């Protein structure tokens, strides 16, 4: 087996097969042109693309947001996943606006060209939900907080990039820019976002049929995949990489532990007989949770009634880990200010600018969910400190 290198194209001889890797930038017209010309010139048996089924369908149907059932998203607890997905999409969308190319255009061009030439098309990437949940559940508390801050800052970052940065972006995968920031801060997350997917995609490419295969992947994956393609990966390892880790025992216990301690403090206060102290404790709990959750809803520019709902619901939901304040406020906002068809149609463009997150009714529901949940969580910590001092 040997490797023959050419600029952004890497050829790997694997036994009696040739695998041609095209490293692309997700916002580069050059990448789009290169992908089409290489597939047409090489006439491969199979084309492998760095996509999963969900992302492929999104590229095929840019209006897929119009069929989104936001209420079901909230009920099924998928709002955090949707937010993270949109944060990554927003980052690439902003980069794409400044280069004039839609993010993922070269991947879609590869798939379309393969179909037009009647070649076998294989989507080799791991499901994005699995990737994000593995990153989240394998990170510790502080790493999760840092990841959350990084994702949130990427959502609302609005600065322009200079020509030198644009030139660099045209030569690399835009995900690399985020990974450069995450690499030192969160090596575990980078390993899941890149290294694991290198292994997963390389395995799928090795399993692809045909003597000549063209693989279209982001430039960030080329170094790792070039090595992984020359290695055999066991079915057991691939199965493990496809598995969402269960929640850690601590993460299951803590949400119940805090309410239990709060209730215990109230019980102790009740039997101690000092009703005034008990009333002050109850007031502290209501104000800390209610006010901070309402402040979060206000920050998201929620409907006035949603802000009131946040104030009422947070002190109650914070004692019940099975339902969060964000779930209640998100539903309230969705009913009081329901997203319109135009919000669905324009969401892909709106998330590219910070103000668009608040202007679009659909993303505003998600902001209400996030900020009211965050306010309630902070309020619980503050209230718990007050209760210890009062009781």
Question: Block means of pLDDT (10 residues each) for the chain, length 391 residues?
Answer: 54 90 79 90 94 85 66 74 71 58 81 94 91 79 68 59 50 52 63 87 92 90 88 89 81 71 71 70 86 95 95 89 86 89 74 82 90 90 72 54
Tens-place pLDDT, residues 65-108 = 656 677 777 777 777 777 777 776 666 666 555 555 677 788 88
Query: Could you give the C-alpha distances from 313 to 113, 263, 309, 325, 370, in angstroms and in order?
Result: 52, 17, 6, 6, 15
Confidence at residue 368, expressed as pLDDT on a 0 to 100 scale:
94
Dihedral sign from CA coordinates of 372, 349, 75, 365: positive
**CB neighbourhood size of 237 (10 A):** 14
Confidence at residue 42, expressed as pLDDT on a 0 to 100 scale:
93
Confidence at residue 117, expressed as pLDDT on a 0 to 100 scale:
94
d(CA 345, CA 368): 20
Tell which residue, 244, 237, 170, has the closest CA to residue 204: 237
Residues 368 and 78 sit within 8 Å (Cβ to Cβ):
no
Half-sphere exposure of 371 (CA within 13 A, CB side): 22
SS3 155: helix
Question: For the whole model, what pTM was predicted?
Answer: 0.71
SS3 355: helix
d(CA 386, CA 265): 11
Query: Could you give the C-alpha distances from 189 to 95, 225, 230, 364, in angstroms and in order?
Result: 22, 18, 24, 27
Dihedral sign from CA coordinates of 63, 66, 72, 73: positive
d(CA 153, CA 76): 26
Query: 74-107: string of b/e by CB count within 10 Å (b at 16+)?
Result: beeeebbbbbbbbbbbbbbbbbbebbebbbbbbb
d(CA 15, CA 210): 12
Confidence at residue 309, expressed as pLDDT on a 0 to 100 scale:
95
100: left (phi over 0), alpha (psi -120 to 50) or beta: left
SS3 123: strand
- Pairing status of strand 9-14 against strand 120-123: unpaired
Block residue for tokens 């937010």:
83
Which DSSP category does 120 fall into? E
């Amino acid at each position: 087996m040997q490797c023959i290198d050419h600029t952004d194209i890497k050829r790997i001889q694997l036994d009696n097969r040739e695998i041609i890797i095209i490293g692309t930038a997700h916002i580069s017209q050059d990448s789009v042109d290169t992908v089409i010309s290489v597939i047409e010139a090489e006439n491969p048996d199979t084309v492998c693309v760095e996509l999963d089924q969900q992302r492929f369908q999104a590229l095929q149907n840019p209006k897929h947001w119009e069929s989104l059932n936001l209420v079901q998203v909230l009920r099924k607890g998928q709002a955090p996943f949707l937010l993270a997905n949109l944060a990554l999409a927003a980052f690439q969308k902003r980069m794409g606006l400044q280069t004039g190319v839609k993010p993922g255009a070269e991947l879609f061009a590869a798939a379309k060209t393969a179909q037009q030439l009647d070649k076998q098309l294989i989507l080799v990437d791991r499901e994005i939900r699995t990737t994000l949940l593995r990153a989240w559940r394998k990170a510790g508390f502080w790493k999760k907080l840092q990841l959350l801050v990084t994702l949130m800052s990427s959502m609302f970052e609005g600065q322009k990039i200079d020509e030198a940065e644009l030139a660099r972006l045209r030569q690399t995968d835009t995900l690399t820019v985020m990974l450069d920031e995450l690499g030192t801060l969160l090596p575990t997350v980078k390993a899941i976002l890149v290294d694991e997917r290198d292994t997963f995609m390389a395995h799928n490419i090795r399993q692809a049929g045909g003597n000549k295969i063209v693989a279209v992947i982001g430039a960030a994956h080329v170094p790792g995949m070039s090595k992984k393609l020359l290695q055999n990966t066991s079915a057991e390892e691939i199965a493990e990489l496809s598995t969402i880790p269960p929640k850690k025992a601590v993460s299951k216990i803590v949400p119940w532990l805090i309410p239990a301690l709060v209730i215990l403090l109230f019980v102790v206060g009740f039997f101690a007989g000092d009703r005034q102290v008990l009333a002050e404790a109850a007031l502290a709990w209501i104000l800390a949770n209610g006010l901070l959750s309402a402040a979060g809803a206000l920050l998201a520019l929620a409907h006035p009634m949603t802000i009131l709902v946040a104030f009422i619901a947070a002190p109650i939901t914070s004692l019940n880990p099975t339902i969060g304040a964000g779930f209640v406020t998100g539903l309230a906002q969705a009913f009081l200010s329901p997203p319109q068809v135009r919000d669905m149609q324009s969401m892909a463009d709106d998330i590219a600018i910070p103000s668009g997150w608040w202007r679009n009714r659909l993303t505003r529901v998600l902001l209400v969910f996030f900020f009211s949940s965050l306010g309630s969580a902070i309020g619980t910590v503050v209230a718990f400190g007050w209760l210890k001092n009062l009781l």
